[in-house]
Chain A
Amino acid sequence: MSVLLSAVATLGVIGAGSAAILYFVGRKFYVEEDPRIQEVQDALPAANCGGCGFPGCASFANACVIAESLDELNCPVGGQNTMDIVAGILGKTPVKSKKQIAVVRCSGSCDERPRLNLYDGASNCSIAAALYSGDTGCSFGCLGLGDCEESCNFDAIHINPETLLPEVVEDMCTACGACVKACPKDIIELRNQGPKSRRIYVSCVSEEKGGPARRACKVACIGCSKCEQACAFDAITITNNLAYIDDDKCRLCRKCVPVCPTNSILELNFPPPREKKEKEAAAVAEA
């Protein structure tokens, strides 16, 4: 019995002593942390994707708390809703951000862009791009080996086995920008998603001159500047034989789309332009 008692007593004393030490150490080295950091972090989507430019949600939350205004800070995954909640927690004014989405700027499918040689090395775009220009005549276009697919944490981008081009799943894409960083050819861009997901963009990154670009790919931008002339809002610029539509200036009027001789300007999620065709048909009939 006494053995039992002494054991309990000894352990009790050791336990109490340790608890006291821990208590004082905890007090002495207490790290004061702004409780709002945890609150903000709880409001974030916890994807830890790095789309905001910070290593993870915790450091983004910290940055939000420290920052004087939320101008430069945006969580692309959570979007406007999340940023509004964060602003509410911190008592700061929320910044209106446009919802963005990843856009693949290459339409050179197998039919449009004939394969001239065969690559059978490691199935990785970065490796292939460092070795050579690609298996088609276009040295700017998509290699189709799927670095973007691998980089996506949200299962939002997939290589279509028929066209060998990546396709973005609109509902899943959070515009975190992982695929933009993964693509060695800089084909993927984050663009404004636009009202009702309607958007217009030049689906080509070839800086090749007209003739060779066209020979390499039927849907290449040849830098003819027809779209630039058609645009009433100065949204289109041509640099290095390549047209680019500034999505902040673009009013989605769609005038540039039909003038493109190579169909390299894509419009997404627009209703089919019925009226216009009828009008044109009428004009032709009158003439």
Chain B
Amino acid sequence: MLKTFRLGGIHPKENKLSAGYKIESIEIPSEVTIPLAQHIGAPCQPVVKKGDKVKVGTLIGKSVGFISANIHSPVSGTVFKIDKALDASGYKRDAVTIKVEGDEWEDYIDTSDTLIKECNLSSKEIIDKIASAGIVGMGGATFPTHIKLMPPPGTKAEVLIINGVECEPYLTSDHQLMMQKTEEILVGITILMKALNVYKAIIGIENNKKDAISKFRSEIKNYPNISVLPLKVKYPQGGEKQLIDAAIGRQVPSGALPISVGAVVQNVGSAFAVYEAVQKNKPLVERVVTVTGKDVKKPCNVLSRIGIPLTNLIDYAGGLPESTGKVISGGPMMGKAIPSIEVPVTKGTSGVLIVQTLEAKRKQMRDCIRCAKCVDVCPMGLNPTLLMNLTEYSEWDRVEKERATDCIECGSCSFTCPADRPLLDYIRLGKSTVTKRIRERKD
């Protein structure tokens, strides 16, 4: 019996159309725009000005505040402007635009493909290197990686869990990365274990990626204390708390961090970025993005520099199909529809999904029939229909009591609702309002 999490979960159609396609590099356009807020936390301060020459890897945005991550130039060229630019939500945020000239890397970066296994740095040195490289959670939440590696006082990490689940339908970027960069990821995991001072790492992979599981199993012999754990195909298996439950059978209490049960979860993409940052001095300037959709001519996994507009990626995959109804940044379950395809790739862009008009249309919401399907599928054990109603009537105290802040926004409730009620939309509103109220109360 394969392991999985206890509560709820759904099984949407996988539609991994781009599964077999190797990662291809995408050409750099003549101009890229790099947003200064690509992570959870405070946006970066620009440290370049108009007219400055930059190389690939030059620091352009310095992190300010505790939760923040550096941003480096993904291209070489001249800073053209520092101005507000459209981000994936349609709001204008600070960004640096660079006119591209050639592809010259900073001297300290090792751009060769040779695998470097040995790492003799101390835990603190590793964490400093990761912090300066600006690595964030590559699964989409974009939480700065180095902060997860510094457990708060009084807590101790016991096990490192590597998230190679990729439970979102359509997305295959992590899958391809695991297939092509297996050893690099394993070295990255050893480095992370050293940084955290733990002696056990588990790589969780959903059982629909059997080739990745066997690849890891064959390579793992040379890496002690790392094990591979095939997991049942169930959404949201890749949720942090769900993965911890499946891998080590512990439940993170409401409102607590995973470290409270001794676990630290990192994405495989992050593990690979850690390898590159620590062993090759390479900051996070590119990532693997899946470009897919039912009518897309050539679904693919591309290695894209940060800042390249999504249109370029879509053109690479054969252009925008005529049937396009929606373009989603991320996967179909947790991704967000974007108002314009001119927005750039950021550190958190795991995929670009082009949805057909018919499938994109949301159905008219009807009355709740009280079937409790949403209650059954909620992986956090919440009551989505109640939370939606309470939010609708602004009963914020009760929304808080019903643990809206525990919602991981996986969308299982909206997916399963036979009356097509926008449960998640309302719960998200309730969650953000309650979070705001809690913060105000603390101040």
Contact = CB atoms under 8 A, between A and B. Distances in A.
Interface residues of B, number: 18
Contacts of A131: 89, 336, 425
A124 B394 CA distance: 13
A116 B340 contact: yes
A11 to B, nearest CB: 44
B426 interface: yes
Nearest to B87: A133
B426 A139 contact: no
A48 interface: no
A134 interface: yes
Contacts of B361: 120
Contacts of B91: 132-133, 139
A133 B429 contact: no
B425 A124 contact: yes
7 contacts: A116-B340, A122-B425, A127-B428, A127-B429, A130-B428, A134-B90, A139-B92
B35 interface: no
B126 to A, nearest CB: 37
A124 B393 CA distance: 12
Nearest to B338: A132
Contacts of A126: 429
Nearest to B325: A118
Contacts of B336: 131-132
A126 B422 CA distance: 14
Interface of A: 116-117, 120-122, 124, 126-127, 130-135, 139, 208
A120 B422 CA distance: 10
B362 A121 contact: yes
Contact of B425 (A121, A135, A208): A121
Contact of A122 (B92, B339, B426): B426
Contacts of B111: none
Interface in B57-75: none
Given A130-B432, A133-B339, 6 more contacts: A116-B339, A122-B422, A126-B429, A132-B90, A133-B90, A139-B91
Binding site secondary structure of chain B: loop
Interface string B67-95: 00000000000000000000001111000
Interface of B: 89-92, 336-340, 361-362, 365, 422, 425-426, 428-429, 432
Contacts of A134: 90
A282 to B, nearest CB: 47
Nearest to A133: B90
B89 A133 contact: yes
A139 B86 CA distance: 10
Given A126-B429, A133-B339, A121 B90 contact: no
B332 to A, nearest CB: 15
Contacts of A121: 362, 422, 425
Among B92, B338, B340, B362, residue most surrounded by chain A Cβ atoms (within 10 Å):
B92
B118 to A, nearest CB: 47
Contacts of B337: 132
Given A132-B339, A133-B91, A139-B90, A120 B362 contact: yes
A150 to B, nearest CB: 10
Contact of A132 (B89, B426, B429): B89
B420 to A, nearest CB: 11
A127 B424 CA distance: 10
Contacts of B338: 132
A130 B429 contact: yes
A11 B294 CA distance: 83
Contacts of A120: 361-362
Nearest to A139: B91
A208 B91 CA distance: 11
B104 to A, nearest CB: 33
Contacts of B90: 132-134, 139
A186 to B, nearest CB: 14
A116 B361 CA distance: 16
B54 to A, nearest CB: 25
Contacts of A127: 422, 425-426, 428-429
A138 to B, nearest CB: 10
The 9 closest A-B pairs by CB, nearest first: A133-B90, A122-B422, A122-B425, A120-B362, A132-B90, A132-B89, A133-B91, A127-B425, A117-B339
Contacts of B89: 131-133
A124 B429 CA distance: 10
A208 B340 CA distance: 18
Q: Which of A120, A122, A133, A134 has the most CB of B within 10 A?
A: A122
